[in-house]
Amino acid sequence: MKVCIAEKPSVAREIASVLGANTKQDGYYLGNGYAVTYTFGHLCTLKEPNDYKPHWKSWDLNNLPMLPEKFETKVVANSGIQKQFKIIKELFDKATLVINCGDAGQEGELIQRWVLHQANYKGPVQRLWISSLTTEAIQEGFNHLKPSSQYDNLYYAGFSRAIGDWLLGMNATRLYTVKHGGYKQVLSIGRVQTPTLAMVVERFIAIQNFKPQPYWELQTLYRDTLFSYEEGRFLKKEDGEVLAQKVQESEFEIVSIEEKKGNEYAPKLFDLTGLQVYCNTKFGFSAEETLKIAQTLYEQKVITYPRVDTSFLPMDIYPKVPGILQKLSHYATLTEPLCNKKIKKSPRVFNDKKVTDHHAIIPTGIQSNLPYNQQQVYNIITKRFIAVFYEDCTVANTTVLGKAAEVPFKATGKVILKKGWRLVFEDPNAKEKETDIMPLFVQGEKGPHQPSFLEKETKAPNQFTEATLLRAMETAGKQVEDEDLRELMKENGIGRPSTRANIIETLFKRQYIVRNKKQLLPTPTGIQLIAIIQNENIKSAALTGIWEKQLKDIEKGRYTASAFIHNMKRMVDALVYEVRSETVHANLSHTAAQPKQIASNTTKKKTEGLLSEMCPKCQKATLLKGKTAYGCGNYKLGCQFVLPFVFANKKISENQYLRLLQKGTTVNLKDFKTSTGTTEGLLRFDASFNLKLEPKNTNKNTPKAATATPALPCPKCNKGSILKGKMAYGCSEYQLGCDFKVPFDVLRAKLKNQTPTKERVHALLKEGF
C-alpha cells in the first residue's frame, strides 16, 4: 500500500479525489491502492529544555546557556494530535512506499520529515512537488514524483532554522527575563522578532528626536507650469531673496526643450511580500489577513502556491499561459487582445535562474464566486498576470529649461503616448489625471511670470506601516525602492515571506507594538526592551539577514547545518556571559509602562486636530492628509473637497484651516500672491466649499456705520470682483482662470492729469481693458 501524507485535511481530500481513494476512514482516505492521510500543521516539535535535563525547567541564570549536544523532536502534547500521529504511524508500518505531499517549501518539508522520523519509518519515500491544487497539477505531480533525498538540503535548512530559533529564543528570553524582567513579565527575544522590533523603535525615536530645518524654494509660474530653481533649495534665506528679487524684474524665457521617449514596464508578478505590501497599502489588510486570504484562494484552486519569494516564472510555464488566459472568462475584455497573437516571452517575467522552489503567484484559470475581500486579492493577482503580457507603456518625458534675469529654472513633465499595460488597470469611473501634462513651449519665447519664494521645512521619516515594515524586513532594514535591486537583496532579508506576517503579529501579542490607524508604533515596553539590549547582534537586522543568507546556502548545498548550529551556540554562549556581567537591572513590565501609554493616548487625542474634523461638504467622512492637500476621506466615492497646503502661493497652517472649519473663516493673513501683486486677507468657503480669498479692507478712516462701496464686478468673467494689488488691478477669480489685469501705468495714461478717484478708476475699469 502507498501512503500519502499531506499537511492539511483539505489538501488530503483533493489528492485522494484525484487518486481515487474515495473511502473515508478515521484520519485518512482509502482506495485504489492508496491511503491518503494528513497532519494538522506541526504534529512534532523540538523538545523542551527540561526534556533534556530536568533542572533546565527552572528559569535561573545559573542554568544558562542551555546547549543540547543533539536536538531531538517529540509529538506535540495534544490528545487530538497524538491520536492522528498514532493513525499515521500504523499506516506507515503497513506502507510499501510513503509519498510526502506536504507543502512544497522549507516548512512543509520539515513538518513531514519530523513525522517520518518520529514514526521511525525506514522504507522508501518519494516527494510530490506541485504549485497548485488543480486536478491537472496533482496528476502531473504524481506522474513526476521525485526521490525524497533530492530535498535533503531543504530539510537541513529547515531543521537548522528551528534549532537556531530554539537556541536564541529559549536562552535569550530566559536571560533577559530573569535579569531585567519585572513582576510576572516575560521578555520575549527572537532571532527575527527582536531585530524587527528594533527597526520600529529606531524609526520612532528618530522621528521623536527629529528637528525640522528650514529651507527656501524659488519657483515661478509660467503659462500654468511650475518651474523650480535648477540648483535646488536654499539653506539661507538671504541667498535666495537676492535671486527672488532679481527674477521679479525680468521676463521669463524658454531656453531649451528636451523630449525623450521611453518605455514603462508593467508591474512585476507578485511574490508573497509584494502581495502583502500592495494589499496593506490599497485595501488596509494586515500582512496576516492577506496571507490567510491567499492561502484560502490556493486551497480553492484559483491561484498557485502563495508562500513564495520570487516574482518570476520558469520557462516551462510559458506554453501554459495561453490556456490560462483563455480560461479567465470574467476578464475576457482584457485577455481578448492577447489571445489572438503570440504571447511575448519577456525576461522580466520568465527567468529560470530566479525561480527556486516555486514561481510567482498567478491565477490557475479556475474561476469561482468569491467573497468581497478574497475577490479583491484575486482580482489584483489576475490583473498583474494579464498585464505582464501586454505591450510596454510608451511615454514622452519632457525637460524644459528656462531663465529669468539669467537665473536658471527647470520643469519636467510626462505624456503617455501609448497606454499599453496601463489599459488593464484603468478604472472607467475614475477621472483621468493630467498633472504632468505640459503646454507646447517654443525655444526663445518670453513672457510674464509669477515668481514665489516659499519657506519650507525638512520632514521627519514616516512611521512604519505594515507595508513599509515588510519591505524593510525583505531588505534587512535598507530602504530600497528599485524593484530589480530589491530582488538582489532578498537573500539577505530577515525572516521568510511565509513567516514575516506572523513575526509582526507576535510583536502585537507581546505588547511590544500597537497600531495607530496604519502606523505601527512601539509601546513603552518595546522601547525599553530595545534600550536594555546592549548586544548589537541580537537587534541587528543586517546580522539576521546574514543568518538568513546562510540558511539559504544550506538549502543550496553551499553551507553546512553543523557550521550554522556551531556558530549559533558560540554566539549564545558569549551573550549569556555578557548579560550576566551587566550591573544594571531594568525591572521592565507592562504594568510599569502603563501610565506612559495612557499619557501618549491623551496626547494623541489632543494632536488629532484637522484629521478629526468632518468634511464640511459631504458630512460623511473625516479629513485625510495627502501629499499636497488635506481632503475628504470619502474621495473614492466622489467627494472632491480639498484644502491645499499652499493657496495663492502662501502656505496655510493646519491651525488656520481648523479655525476655518470651526468658525467659518481664517484670521487675516499676509503675503497672498495674486495676479495684481501681494495681498492681505482672510479665507472663506464659497457656496461649493471652494476656498475664496477675501482681501482686507485697508481704509481705516472709514466710519463703522458708513456704507461700504459695493465691490466692482470683473468686466471679463462677471463672476469675481476687482482686487487692488501692488502693481495692478485684477480679478478675485484668478485662481479659477480669469486673467483680467490692468496695470497702474495703463490707468495713469488714461487718466492723464485727472485726480485718480475711486469712481474714475472704476469707470475706466468698466470699459474693459
Q: Catalytic residue positions?
A: 305
Residue 111's Cα: distance from chain center in Å?
A: 31
Secondary structure class of 6 (helix, strand, coil): strand
Residue 685's Cα: distance from chain center in Å?
A: 35
Q: Which residues pair with 303 in a beta bridge?
A: 363
Residue found by looking up cell 488691478 in the block: 729
Q: Are 672 and 726 in contact (CB under 8 A)?
A: no
Q: Which amino acid is at 365?
A: G
Bond before 65 cis per omega within 30 degrees: yes
Dist. CA 269–CA 236, nearest whole Å: 46
- Sheet hosting strand 677-685, strand order edge to edge: 669-674, 677-685, 691-695
Sequence-separated (6 or more) residues with CB below 8 Å from residue 202: 530
Residue 229's Cα: distance from chain center in Å?
A: 32
Residue 763's Cα: distance from chain center in Å?
A: 60
Dist. CA 722–CA 715, nearest whole Å: 9
DSSP symbols for 475-508:
TTT-----HHHHHHHGGG-SS-HHHHHHHHHHHH
Dist. CA 650–CA 646, nearest whole Å: 5
At 182, phi and psi to the nearest 5?
Answer: -90, -155
Report the 3 state secondary structure along 629-674: EEEECCHHHCCCCEEECEECCEECCHHHHHHHHHHCCCCCEEEEEE
Sequence-separated (6 or more) residues with CB below 8 Å from residue 723: 674, 676, 679, 695, 729, 730, 731, 732
Dist. CA 1–CA 37, nearest whole Å: 13
Residue 534's Cα: distance from chain center in Å?
A: 31
Dist. CA 444–CA 254, nearest whole Å: 5
